[in-house]
A and B are shown apart, each in its own frame.
Chain A
């Protein structure tokens, strides 16, 4: 089976919307309903967050959703159990995102094999550095057909961006500005020089812009400088609202595009 991330970028060139949510939030068993509802609303790619007790790169919104998910009982085995039959229902590209320690405890190789079996397309582990990935884990990810997606930032030197591009095969996650997730200051889309600099580098992989993208305006502006954008904290906030889960998802996603 061709990696669904590759297929997606081959078929769609602009305005891609990738959405992150924390598995186990707001309720333990919302994972599959959220995925199916996001697909129904035209989202292109989904990042399923594996909650961690100490998410260093995340702001308060994702921290709190992670705490609640953990209290609800979310674990990696539980998540795999929920996703066991997901490919009977949807072919949307799925990326697992989380921190290294829980994956290490599960076992990196076992984790990759299980992800492949379920039909996961990619993995993001922000605190697994490129050098350690290349030295210890690259073979395992590739054998299991998983794209290992890396972050780049406005401070990443050009040579390192090229090195990252050469070791990955899904997309390059362009962190919009120096911040943790969930900023709504608008500086997320201010750094157009950086977006354009990366765009002109002619990388093998397409870029998606994330961190601080939270509404129609910032999503639209990010899409002007990359293939698309990633929304996380703003979606978590939408899920936190009173009312019906499906309704919350649908109104939020529609608000980005209409």
Chain B
């Protein structure tokens, strides 16, 4: 496959495992074992069983009639928002927790931005009876309070990251530092297609269930197993990686990755990495990175905690550089409008992250008879406080 990793863990120029020697044994253990373990029949049987009966998969592929009328094309929503815990994140955490158990690990750590990955990790840890520590930026702890409460109820310890911009990047730094200090009993469940090889590839494989189901569902509804467009939001890029996965080598499918422009790409308050980033190394991987001329990481901004990240997974850097995917950026304001629109046209309150993908629907150039699948990666419950405030439903 043209868009899969090479033997050193690179997608074209991007990827690799730029980790301090302290992490080498852990990353190497995972590299040597992940494919072997995740394709064992017993592993797959356990994972598929849990995805079906616990997570609630397959998620529906819903034809959004009124949204389609509005944009004059045929729009399907892949309903990842209907997964247990409210987003696609649990596809990955369920896979990784089973892997961690087979590697004999006792203690689970994770980073989280919006808190969806933290909740999904805390959930599978509760299910498996494993200790769980989640690192979360102090800023995100404030803006995603419901998810913090859920993690605590699930028995996880939530540790605030108080360095830098106190968001996802810093939470990831702290999780990596924890892993350095606990190299033997601890497993790090990374929540996106970022980090050192093999994480980007492993997380993409666990999320690939999204496009695998899309193929079967489209076959049934449209008589062919592919759409003309797949649209997904990208922070680190795990839901997009899963939605794109089985279509990467099928040029008839246009892939659209939607980033957070924040207050505007040129405003200085943005997280649109494909526009603002250049090649660099962050969190163990060579990728596109928002940075100063001197190579210091720039603190990103987005209203959406899940997209507020200065890098992007190396797969997406490669898709961008090779031209395989089209990248769009959507501002805070445009995303908020898309939230209201979907809520009022289809009765679905989306997460702020997914709303960025929705807001890009009018700029992908889809024709009336073309088929668009939009990956609705999460539901909006966690963002209600923001919505109440921004839409003035709180009586003010």
Q: What residues of chain A lie closer than 8 Å to B17, measured between beta carbons?
A: 129
The reply to whether the CB of A54 lies closer than 8 angstroms to some CB of chain B is: yes
Bound-complex Cα distance A70 to B169 (A): 18
The reply to whether the CB of A180 lies closer than 8 angstroms to some CB of chain B is: yes
Q: What residues of chain A lie closer than 8 Å to B291, measured between beta carbons?
A: 101, 105
**Which residue among B180, B181, B293 has the maximum number of chain A CB atoms within 10 Å of its CB?**
B180
Given A54-B173, A54-B297, A56-B177, decide whether A104 and B21 contact each other with a Cβ distance below 8 A.
Answer: no
- A55-71 residues with Cβ-Cβ distance < 8 A to B are 56-57, 59-60, 63, 67, 70
- The stretch of B262-270, B278-286, B339-347 in contact with A is B278-286
Q: What residues of chain A lie closer than 8 Å to B289, measured between beta carbons?
A: 101
- A74-120 residues with Cβ-Cβ distance < 8 A to B are 75-77, 99-106
The reply to whether the CB of B32 lies closer than 8 angstroms to some CB of chain A is: no
Q: What residues of chain A lie closer than 8 Å to B294, measured between beta carbons?
A: 75-77, 102, 105-106
Bound-complex Cα distance A59 to B181 (A): 10
1/0 per position for A155-171, CB-CB distance to B under 8 A?
11100100000000000
Q: How many residues of A contact B (CB 8 A)?
A: 39
B325 to chain A, nearest CB (A): 24
The reply to whether the CB of A3 lies closer than 8 angstroms to some CB of chain B is: no
Give which listed residue, A101, A150, A152, A179, contacts B295 with CB less than 8 A: A101
**Which residue among A77, A100, A102 has the maximum number of chain B CB atoms within 10 Å of its CB?**
A102
The reply to whether the CB of A193 lies closer than 8 angstroms to some CB of chain B is: no
Q: What residues of chain A lie closer than 8 Å to B8, measured between beta carbons?
A: 131
The reply to whether the CB of B184 lies closer than 8 angstroms to some CB of chain A is: yes
Total inter-chain residue pairs, C-beta < 8 Å: 103
- B109-164 residues with Cβ-Cβ distance < 8 A to A are 163-164
Q: How many residues of B contact A (CB 8 A)?
A: 34
- B365-379 residues with Cβ-Cβ distance < 8 A to A are none
The reply to whether the CB of A195 lies closer than 8 angstroms to some CB of chain B is: no
Q: What residues of chain A lie closer than 8 Å to B49, measured between beta carbons?
A: none
Give which listed residue, B169, B181, B281, contacts A180 with CB less than 8 A: B181
Given A105-B293, A106-B295, decide whether A179 and B181 contact each other with a Cβ distance below 8 A.
Answer: yes
- Please determine whether B180 and A160 come into contact, CB atoms closer than 8 angstroms: no
Given A54-B169, A101-B291, decide whether A179 and B180 contact each other with a Cβ distance below 8 A.
Answer: yes
Q: What residues of chain B lie closer than 8 Å to A52, measured between beta carbons?
A: 295-296
The reply to whether the CB of A132 lies closer than 8 angstroms to some CB of chain B is: yes
- Please determine whether A100 and B18 come into contact, CB atoms closer than 8 angstroms: yes
- Please determine whether B20 and A151 come into contact, CB atoms closer than 8 angstroms: yes
The reply to whether the CB of A128 lies closer than 8 angstroms to some CB of chain B is: yes
Q: What residues of chain A lie closer than 8 Å to B56, measured between beta carbons?
A: none
Bound-complex Cα distance A72 to B199 (A): 36
Q: What residues of chain B lie closer than 8 Å to A128, measured between beta carbons?
A: 18
What residues make up the interface of B, taking CB atoms closer than 8 Å to A? 8, 16-22, 24-25, 163-164, 169, 173, 176-177, 180-184, 279-284, 289, 291, 293-297
Q: Which 5 A-B pairs have the closest CB atoms?
A: A105-B295, A102-B295, A151-B21, A126-B20, A53-B296
What residues make up the interface of A, taking CB atoms closer than 8 Å to B? 52-54, 56-57, 59-60, 63, 67, 70, 75-77, 99-106, 126-129, 131-132, 150-153, 155-157, 160, 175, 178-180
Q: What would be 11 A-B contacts, judged by CB atoms less than 8 Å apart?
A: A52-B296, A54-B282, A54-B297, A57-B22, A100-B18, A101-B297, A105-B280, A127-B284, A155-B24, A155-B183, A179-B180
